[in-house]
């Protein structure tokens, strides 16, 4: 089927009452699912060949087809910012993604977007620092506000990413505080799979050692600072005070 034929099929399917209801609820139609599989195949084939322009074309088509799909949106931003290093095109895309994540008030969207800006797997040296830190601050504050409504049980999931932002921005005290709160949340009275706790604990202890710059222990888990850990940028001006969360 040609691309125009695919578009016609999708438009026709959307007219039925059942499909209209699915679309309103955010559930992909059968035609959309088929198109998504086709787009994914083209995308991953292009990625394997490092054909970034073809990969970009595929994710743009996917994002247009399913604007509520975070995976296409993230792939779009990731390709532009981290593969193609096209800041002129990529900055408006990541700005819009930040706005949409905050508007949705979605922890998943905000964490995934924050990872594009501060994730340790990415090279951010080419990213304009003022823009990156401004966007990171918006996401960090919104995530903390959202988490305060959810209680202590979710801190281990949210706070490590937010702490990474504060560490890079030079606010070591805040980064340390958030990691300590994340560790404390692992001991929440609510039941947690021991396997999950044991998976999370070493990374949190390692982050705490890195931020403190010294050996730390939590229970029987200890860590020393990593020698290749990213140093924070120097802070400028008076340090902003934060209310201590309990």
pLDDT above 60 (res 11):
no
pTM value? 0.79
CA torsion sign, 187 to 190 to 191 to 193?
negative
Percentage of the chain beyond pLDDT 70 is 78
Q: Identify the residue whose tokens are 């999370």.
A: 200
CA distance 127 to 133: 10
Q: What is the mean pLDDT of residues 104-123?
A: 96
Q: Which residues contact 13 (CB under 8 A, 6 or more apart)?
A: 19, 29, 30, 31, 32
Q: Model confidence at 152, in pLDDT bands (50, 70, 90)?
A: low
> Which pLDDT belongs to residue 193?
66
CA distance 27 to 6: 18
pLDDT above 50 (res 4):
no
Q: Model confidence at 8, in pLDDT bands (50, 70, 90)?
A: very low
Q: Model confidence at 244, in pLDDT bands (50, 70, 90)?
A: very low
The whole-angstrom distance between residue 202's C-alpha and the CA centroid of its chain comes to: 21
> Which pLDDT belongs to residue 26?
54
Cβ neighbour number for residue 142 with a 10 Å cutoff: 20
């Amino acid at each position: 089927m040609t691309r125009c034929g695919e578009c016609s099929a999708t438009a026709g399917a959307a007219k039925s009452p059942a499909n209209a209801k699915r679309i309103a609820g955010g559930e992909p139609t059968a035609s959309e699912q088929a198109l998504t599989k086709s787009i994914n195949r083209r995308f991953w084939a292009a990625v394997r060949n490092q054909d970034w322009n073809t990969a970009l074309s595929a994710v743009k088509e996917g994002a247009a087809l399913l604007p509520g799909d975070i995976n296409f949106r993230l792939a779009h931003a990731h390709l532009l910012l981290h593969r193609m290093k096209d800041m002129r095109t990529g900055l408006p895309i990541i700005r819009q993604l930040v706005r949409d994540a905050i508007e949705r008030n979605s922890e998943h969207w905000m964490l995934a977007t924050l990872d594009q800006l501060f994730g340790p797997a990415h090279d951010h040296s080419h990213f304009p620092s003022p823009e990156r830190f401004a966007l990171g601050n918006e996401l960090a504050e919104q995530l903390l506000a959202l988490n305060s409504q959810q209680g202590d049980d979710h801190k281990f999931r949210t706070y490590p990413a937010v702490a990474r932002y504060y560490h890079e921005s030079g606010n070591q005290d805040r980064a340390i505080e958030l990691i300590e709160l994340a560790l404390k949340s692992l001991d929440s009275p609510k039941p947690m799979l021991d396997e999950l706790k044991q998976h999370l604990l070493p990374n949190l202890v390692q982050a705490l050692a890195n931020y403190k710059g010294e050996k730390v222990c939590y229970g029987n888990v200890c860590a020393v600072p990593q020698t290749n850990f990213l140093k924070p940028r120097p802070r400028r001006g008076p340090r902003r005070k934060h209310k201590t969360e309990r």
